[in-house]
């Protein structure tokens, strides 16, 4: 992949992932305007020279300019990357409608579904922005490790091959491999569904179950993810790739994951609100569990692990009851 010419990127969302990606883009020589909706947070970034709230300990490069003005962020931008949580995706992307030059694409690194309709985010982007190139970046990538420059690989998917290549080239560096894919649907489903399954493995580990249980949840969870992903038009190889099994394993097995930590907290008897307060950052699997529950009901797809996570989060059953319900299911063929 040849090096990209230097870009001016409007990066929307100064949380942990937005800040880490902004640092990565600056490492590659690009200029970044990092937009956030809270003036006080942007003031703090400018004053401190780091993101103490979401990614402490990393100096913001001089080519990274924080701003709370969307117009300033987009002025002369060559590229636009959205990294807000899924619940904010529609409102932020709608605000781009009047501001983006016609034909300019957008990419996002948000993982989740539209929180009200349960739709995939490319559908929301199309609704808000009409026909233009769209891309999603996803894969096993904790913000802290990317900011630290630890070797990482992700995938950038777009129905427009040249646009996937453009975004991948912007991000790709000597310690950050960005692959391309044409399967947006598969990549989006993986990024959303894995967060619900990470809550499940957190619950299992928090209840003191062993390595066997964890491996079973990851494997049977992958089967759920594939069922819903195929029904929506995703491709098998995507589920076996970085955005699929790669991110599922990462998020289910490492305590850097906020979703996994949510599961651990629930298993220790904490309520959802209390756990969210303690984690202090987005836990995408909480809203996604509801969206996946609605989606699987509508499509009539069996997703027993995700369904039990939904019941713990929204119907108040205990993690123990959820486990019992899963284990009491009738034996059945593993495949088919």
Ligand X SMILES: O=C(CO)COP(=O)(O)O
For 135, the enclosing helix (H) or strand (E) is strand 134-138
Helix (H/G/I), strand (E/B), else coil: 173: strand
Q: Is 212 annotated as a binding residue?
A: no
Per DSSP, the residues of 174-186 read TTEEEEEES-HHH
Residue 209 is classified by DSSP as -
Binding interface with ligand X (CB under 6 A): 111, 140-142, 195, 198, 247, 250-251, 257-259, 284
- Does 176 participate in binding ligand NDP (rule CB under 6 A)? no
- SS3 readout for 32-81: EEEECCCHHHHHHHHHHCEECCCEEEEECCCCEEEECCHHHHHCCCCEEE
Of these partners, ligand X, ligand NDP, none, which one is at the site of residue 140 (CB under 5 to 8 Å by kind)? ligand X
Stretch that binds ligand NDP, among 78-86, 122-130, 300-308, 310-318 (CB under 6 A): 78-86
- Does 54 participate in binding ligand NDP (rule CB under 6 A)? yes
Distance from the first to the final alpha carbon of the chain:
40
Residue 327 beta carbon to ligand NDP: minimum distance, rounded to whole angstroms: 30
Query: From the candidates 6, 194, 270, 332, which is the catalytic residue?
Result: 194
Query: Pick from 203, 179, 229, 183: which is nearest to 305 by CA?
Result: 203
303: Cβ contacts below 8 Å, ≥ 6 apart? 224, 227, 228, 292, 296
Q: Which of residues 24-53 bind ligand NDP (CB under 6 A)?
A: 36-38, 41
- Does 207 participate in binding ligand NDP (rule CB under 6 A)? no
Is 31 or 284 the residue whose CB approaches ligand X more closely? 284
Is 170 or 196 the residue whose CB approaches ligand X more closely? 196
What's the rounded Cα separation, in Å, for the pair 139 and 264? Answer: 23
- Is 194 designated active site? yes
Binding residues: 13-18, 37, 111, 139, 141, 143, 194, 247, 257-259, 284
Q: For binding to ligand NDP (CB under 6 A), which residues are involved?
A: 13-18, 36-38, 41, 54, 83-86, 88, 91-92, 109-112, 141-143, 281-282, 284
Binding residues for NADPH: 16-17, 37, 111, 143, 258, 284
């Amino acid at each position: 992949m040849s090096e990209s010419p230097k870009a001016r990127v409007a990066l929307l969302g100064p949380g942990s992932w937005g800040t880490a990606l902004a640092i990565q883009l600056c490492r590659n020589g690009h200029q970044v305007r990092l937009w956030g909706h809270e003036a006080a947070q942007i003031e703090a970034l400018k004053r401190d020279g780091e993101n103490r709230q979401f990614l402490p300990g990393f100096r913001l490069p001089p080519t990274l300019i924080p701003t709370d003005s969307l117009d300033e962020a987009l002025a002369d931008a060559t590229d636009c990357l959205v990294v807000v949580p899924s619940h904010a995706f529609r409102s932020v992307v709608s605000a781009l409608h009047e501001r983006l030059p016609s034909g300019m694409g957008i990419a996002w690194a948000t993982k989740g579904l539209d929180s009200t309709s349960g739709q995939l985010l490319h559908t929301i982007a199309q609704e808000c922005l009409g026909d233009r190139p769209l891309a999603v970046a996803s894969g096993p990538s904790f913000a802290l490790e990317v900011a630290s420059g630890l070797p990482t690989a992700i995938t950038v998917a777009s129905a427009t091959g040249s646009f996937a290549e453009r975004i991948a080239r912007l991000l790709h560096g000597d310690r950050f491999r960005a692959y391309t894919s044409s399967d947006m649907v598969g990549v989006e489903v993986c990024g959303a569904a894995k967060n619900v399954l990470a809550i499940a493995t957190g619950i299992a580990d928090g209840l003191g179950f062993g390595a066997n249980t964890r491996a079973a949840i990851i494997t049977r969870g992958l089967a759920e993810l594939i069922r819903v992903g195929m029904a929506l038009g995703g491709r098998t190889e995507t589920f076996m790739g970085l955005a699929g099994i790669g991110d599922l394993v990462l998020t289910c097995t490492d305590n850097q994951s906020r979703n996994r930590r949510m599961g651990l907290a629930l298993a220790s008897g904490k309520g959802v609100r209390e756990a969210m307060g303690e984690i202090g950052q987005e836990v995408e699997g909480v809203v996604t569990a509801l969206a996946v529950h609605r989606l699987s009901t509508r499509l009539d797809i069996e997703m027993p692990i995700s369904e039990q996570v939904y019941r713990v989060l929204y119907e108040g059953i205990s993690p123990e009851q959820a486990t019992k319900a899963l284990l009491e299911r009738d034996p059945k063929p593993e495949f088919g």
